[in-house]
Amino acid sequence: MSPEKTALPFVQLFTDGACSGNPGPGGWGCILRHPSSGKEKEFSGGEARTTNNRMELQAVIEGLKQLSRRSKVEVITDSTYVAKGCMEWLPGWKRNDWRRKDGRQWVPIANEEHWKELDLLLAKHAISFTVVRGHSGHAENERCDQLAVAAAAAFK
Distance CA 141, CA 7 (A): 28
114 carries an active-site annotation: no
Tell me the whole-structure pTM to 2 decimals: 0.94
Please say whether the beta carbons of 117 and 61 come within 8 A.
yes
User: How high is the pLDDT of residue 5?
Assistant: 57
Instruction: Please pick, among 16, 47, 62, 140, the residue that the annotation labels catalytic.
Output: 16
Please say whether the beta carbons of 89 and 83 come within 8 A.
no
Residue type, 116: K
78 carries an active-site annotation: yes
102 carries an active-site annotation: no
Intra-chain end-to-end CA distance of the chain, in Å: 54
User: How high is the pLDDT of residue 81?
Assistant: 97
74 carries an active-site annotation: no
Closest listed residue to residue 140, CA positions, set 81, 77, 96:
77
User: How high is the pLDDT of residue 156?
Assistant: 79
17 carries an active-site annotation: yes
The count of other CB atoms within 10 Å of the CB of residue 2 is 6
145 carries an active-site annotation: yes
Instruction: Please pick, among 78, 85, 114, 125, the residue that the annotation labels catalytic.
Output: 78
What is the Cα 117 distance to its own chain's centre?
Answer: 11
Instruction: Please pick, among 47, 56, 62, 140, the residue that the annotation labels catalytic.
Output: 56
The domains of the chain, with CATH numbers, are 8-85+113-153 (3.30.420.10)
- pLDDT tens, position by position, for the chain (156 residues)? 445 556 999 999 999 999 999 899 999 999 999 999 999 999 999 999 999 999 999 999 999 999 999 999 999 999 999 999 999 999 999 999 999 999 999 999 999 999 999 999 999 999 999 999 998 999 999 999 999 999 999 997
Residue type, 133: R
Distance CA 12, CA 100 (A): 31
Distance CA 42, CA 150 (A): 13
Backbone phi, then psi, for 128, in 5-degree steps?
A: -130, 160
